[in-house]
Amino acid sequence: MKKLTLLSGAACALLLIWSCNSTRTGVHDHSTHTETVSDHENIDPHDHEAEHEGPEHGAGHSDEIVIAPEKAEAAGIAVEKIIPSGFRGVIRTGGQILPAVGDEKMLVATSDGIVSFSGNYAAGMKVGNGEPLFSLLSGNIQDGNRIVKARIAYETAKAEYLRTSKLVDDRIVSQKDFIRIKEAYENARTAYEALKPNADGTGVQIESPFQGYIKDILVNEGDFVTTGTPLASIVKNRKFILRADVSQRYYDRLGEITSANFSTPYSETVLNTDSLGGRLLSRGKISAGSSYYTPVTFEFESRTGVIPGSFAEVWLLTSPRNNVISVPVSALTEEQGLYYVYLKIDDSCYRKQEVALGESDGRRAEIIEGVKAGDTVVTAGAMKVKLASASNIIPAHTHNH
């Protein structure tokens, strides 16, 4: 009995090995194949589509971003409908903001002396008209105190003038001598007052010529200066000059320039010379020395916190072009050198759209490709939409377009 069992097991093993080998060599069991074909014929084609559809098929476009209207309002998201309009040509360059002519005054030493500050002054501080800034003390220098000498000469001449003015009517002093004495008195008075003595009369006082701001202080406490030495510069900050340095390759377009947009390193706001009551002063016709640039200058009023002497990024505006599609610069986002905007599809749906840019005037950017007239573009809060698009908790959008 055991032998029969062993023989049966061996036969089954041989049969199994034969079946596997026949499959490898192309020998098929036709009955099995027929059964498999009939099974495929009985499968519903819709079930086959469902197999490939995936779990999210029919849930909406995968590139759509859903933000509820109330959440969009709370996030400060604003939109603009694209309407083709005029857009001015742009020459982008750099420049500097300078005080206008007459708005800056350099204070110089009116006498030899040692510098003494009248207060704790520093660059940027506001000063009033006639406010004392420095005293020049000369009491310890070789020539002596000029203020004391000038005061003595003045008081002596004044006393002589007052004495002779009472005698001239009695002809005790001749008219000729009186005129000479009066002239000496006037000269001594003018010389003394020109020195502008400080409050205690120990030194020459240097005052602010007008209300403004200290731009630079060029001396230190205790420095010895001679007549004519620059001490400080004061600016009114009422008007400024914007000087843009234009490459010579744009020389043929200088005549088209009419105004400029500009921004400073300390502010993200882009300003316009026209909106600041400005005007074009000159378009440079020559370059200074060996410079490759020609200057274009504008004058504008100080209505903002612009600091004279600061550098600026400048967009020179030239002739306008019509029917240009543009968006505010705030609408753009950048990823690895590519630019995108977000289109609003309906009340709660947005879509990311790659765009090709043309010129930019610092405020708006020309769109060459990617946006068309009638599209609604996110102009404020684009970064909020971008962050929302990266969130994995945003539900899929199910409406049809």
Assigned fold of 104-235: OB fold (Dihydrolipoamide Acetyltransferase, E2P) (2.40.50)
| Residue 383 burial (10 A CB sphere; 0-12, 13-18, 19+) | middle
CA distance linking residue 296 with residue 92, whole number of Å:
12
Contact 297, 242 (CB under 8 A): yes
More confident residue, 57 or 333: 333
Radius of gyration of the chain (CA): 44
More confident residue, 284 or 45: 284
Domain boundaries, the chain: 67-84+325-389, 89-101+238-322, 104-235
Local structure of residue 279 (DSSP, 8 states): E
Q: What pLDDT is recorded for position 1?
A: 42
Q: What pLDDT is recorded for position 175?
A: 87
Contact 304, 351 (CB under 8 A): no
Tokens of 313: 């990024």
pLDDT of residue 7 exceeding 70, the answer is no
pLDDT of residue 192 exceeding 60, the answer is yes
pLDDT of residue 14 exceeding 90, the answer is no
Pairing, β 78-81 against β 104-108: unpaired
- The architecture of the domain spanning 89-101+238-322 is Beta Barrel (2.40)
The answer regarding whether domain 67-84+325-389 maps to CATH 2.40.50.140 reads no
Give the pLDDT band of residue 295 (cuts 50, 70, 90).
very high
Give the pLDDT band of residue 10 (cuts 50, 70, 90).
very low
What would the mean pLDDT of 69-84 be, rounded to a whole number? 94
Query: What residue type is 229 in one-letter code?
Result: T
Instruction: Give strand pairing partners of 283.
Output: 296
Q: What pLDDT is recorded for position 290?
A: 66
Q: What pLDDT is recorded for position 141?
A: 62
Q: What pLDDT is recorded for position 143?
A: 63
Tokens of 366: 């020309």
Contact 341, 391 (CB under 8 A): no
What would the mean pLDDT of 352-366 be, rounded to a whole number? 95
- pLDDT exceeding 70 applies to what percent of the chain? 78
Cβ partners under 8 Å of residue 232, min gap 6:
106, 107, 121, 133, 134, 214, 215, 216, 217, 218, 219
Tokens of 401: 């377009």
Task: Give 19-71 pLDDT, tens digit per residue.
Answer: 334 333 343 443 333 333 334 444 444 444 433 343 333 334 457 899 999 99
Strand, coil or helix: 207? strand
> Is the pTM for the entire model greater than 0.85?
no
CA distance linking residue 55 with residue 58, whole number of Å:
9
pLDDT of residue 364 exceeding 90, the answer is yes
CA distance linking residue 109 with residue 219, whole number of Å:
11
Tokens of 358: 């043309």
Cβ partners under 8 Å of residue 213, min gap 6:
124, 125, 126, 127, 234, 235, 236, 237
Q: What pLDDT is recorded for position 33?
A: 38
* Average pLDDT score over the chain: 81
Q: What pLDDT is recorded for position 142?
A: 58
Q: What pLDDT is recorded for position 171?
A: 79
pLDDT of residue 147 exceeding 70, the answer is yes
- pLDDT exceeding 90 applies to what percent of the chain? 52
Task: Give 222-281 pLDDT, tens digit per residue.
Answer: 999 988 999 999 988 888 999 999 998 898 899 999 999 999 999 989 999 999 999 999
What would the mean pLDDT of 150-171 be, rounded to a whole number? 87
